[in-house]
Amino acid sequence: MSVLAAIAVLAVLILVHELGHFIAARSQGIYVNRFSLGFGPIIWKYQGAQTEYAVRAFPLGGFVGFPDDDPDSTIPPEDPNLLRNRPILDRAIVISAGVIANLIFAYFLLVAQVNFVGIAQATQPGVLIQQLVPQMSSVAEKAGIQPGDVVLGANQRQFGTSLQARDTLRDIIKTNAGQPIQLKIARGDQKFSLTVVPEKKSNGDGSIGVGLAPNGKVERRRITNPVLALQTGAAEFQQIVFTTFRGFKQLITNFGETANQVAGPVKIVEIGANIAKNDAGSLLFFAALISINLAVINILPLPALDGGQLAFLLIEGLRGKPLPTRIQDGVMQTGLMLLLGLGIFLILKETTQLEWVQKLFQ
């Protein structure tokens, strides 16, 4: 059931994305002749007045079809309600609506998470220095840091009970290689300040050789005040978006070191299944995280993605006319083949890494 729950989460997020495109088109009077959740053979369909609605065998995908690309369409080519005949702004709204829908949906998922389930927080403020890493502990030791110390703040930034404080401290250390960091430390009943200078690693990140952990037990706390829940959801949303963009930046700048961290649909389902099985309360947060990542990926200016189509619209706006159809088709088909190839590679790779699959070959 946990696997089905994870697949259901992905299917809902894809449905939200495609609904964004569909609603943006229909609300402007633009023709839509197909709305499909999934790929492959049709297992259910309904023919509406204008649109065929279908559910297909493989739910990890979907599409909105326009009669512009249908050779059997009886709509005159010059009809103003065809997508291709609409002004650039109208088309840009339709293309970007899927990304916007995923972002809005993610925000409300996070609000629901903090309001109905609660957010995980430490029982005490600060970040615990859990241990000194043996191979790299010289920097922390020289600065006077000891296991069991609690970092209450860094560079004038105070740390509360949020679990994000640990990630914030990590970021401060990573981005200040060779630069002094002022830490506010609590050790027993004592509170004092000290300075540490992170050591620069081979990838350019700073490190002081410590293991970090939340301070105290981790408990869930619900926020029942609606206004505060909206504010907290916004803060969680902002943090995830920032972390997602930072992750893509690291993937581009340090591709050799981060390529193995790229996850495909099988890995995502596996992670979601583990969450559904062991910590169902985090399933809404997991869905929000994937929804934001889906939005960010789709807005990238790559062929076959929404960002690629927006890039074509930008070029059309600058040129005063669209690129030749053969060029657009060639770029989109090449991009689609590359994305399909990457997807197949990740599916095969991650499937062979599943525990039950490996047991079959032992």
Reported as a single tens digit per residue, the pLDDT across 61-112 is 888 999 987 878 888 888 999 999 999 999 999 999 999 999 999 999 999 9
| Mean pLDDT for the stretch of residues 28-57 | 91
- pLDDT tier, 50 (very low <50, low <70, confident <90, very high otherwise): confident
Q: Are 206 and 199 in contact (CB under 8 A)?
A: yes
Q: What's the domain range around 128? A: 121-221
Q: Which of 189, 221, 253 is the last residue of a domain?
A: 221
* 203 shares its domain with 182: yes
* 248 shares its domain with 106: yes
Total number of domains constituting the chain: 2
Tell me the pLDDT tens digit for each residue of 333-359. Answer: 666 666 555 555 444 444 444 443 344
* 197 shares its domain with 321: no
According to DSSP, the residues that pair with 207 across neighbouring strands are 199
Q: Which of 18, 236, 270, 350 is catalytic?
A: 18
* 251 shares its domain with 335: yes
d(CA 124, CA 159): 10
* 332 shares its domain with 237: yes
- pLDDT tier, 17 (very low <50, low <70, confident <90, very high otherwise): very high
- pLDDT tier, 135 (very low <50, low <70, confident <90, very high otherwise): low
* 278 shares its domain with 142: no
* 320 shares its domain with 357: yes
In a domain, 286, yes or no: yes
- Please report, in angstroms and rounded to a whole number, the separation of the first and last CA atoms in the chain: 26
| Mean pLDDT for the stretch of residues 130-148 | 81
* 179 shares its domain with 282: no
| Mean pLDDT for the stretch of residues 5-27 | 89
Tell me the pLDDT tens digit for each residue of 271-282. Answer: 555 654 556 567
Range in 61-65, 135-139, 202-206, 277-281 with the lowest mean pLDDT: 277-281
- pLDDT tier, 202 (very low <50, low <70, confident <90, very high otherwise): confident
Output the 3-class SS for 43-97: EEEEECCCCEEEEEEEEEEEEEECHHHCCCCCCCCCCCCCHHHCCHHHHHHHHHH
d(CA 176, CA 153): 15
Q: Which of 192, 221, 250 is the last residue of a domain?
A: 221
SS3 183: strand
Q: Which of 221, 247, 277 is the last residue of a domain?
A: 221
Percentage with pLDDT > 70 across the chain: 80
d(CA 132, CA 155): 21
In a domain, 90, yes or no: no
In a domain, 260, yes or no: yes
In a domain, 342, yes or no: yes
Percentage with pLDDT > 90 across the chain: 30
* 134 shares its domain with 110: no
Domain of residue 172, CATH code: 2.30.42.10
- What is the average pLDDT value for the chain, to the nearest integer? 80
In a domain, 43, yes or no: no
* 234 shares its domain with 357: yes
d(CA 223, CA 227): 9
Q: Percentage helix, strand, coil, to 5, in the chain? A: 55, 20, 25
d(CA 197, CA 142): 10
According to DSSP, the residues that pair with 44 across neighbouring strands are 55
pLDDT value, residue 58:
80
Tell me the pLDDT tens digit for each residue of 226-267. Answer: 999 999 899 889 888 887 777 666 655 554 444 444 444 545
| Mean pLDDT for the stretch of residues 154-181 | 87
* 134 shares its domain with 197: yes
* 326 shares its domain with 207: no
Residue 18 annotated in active site: yes
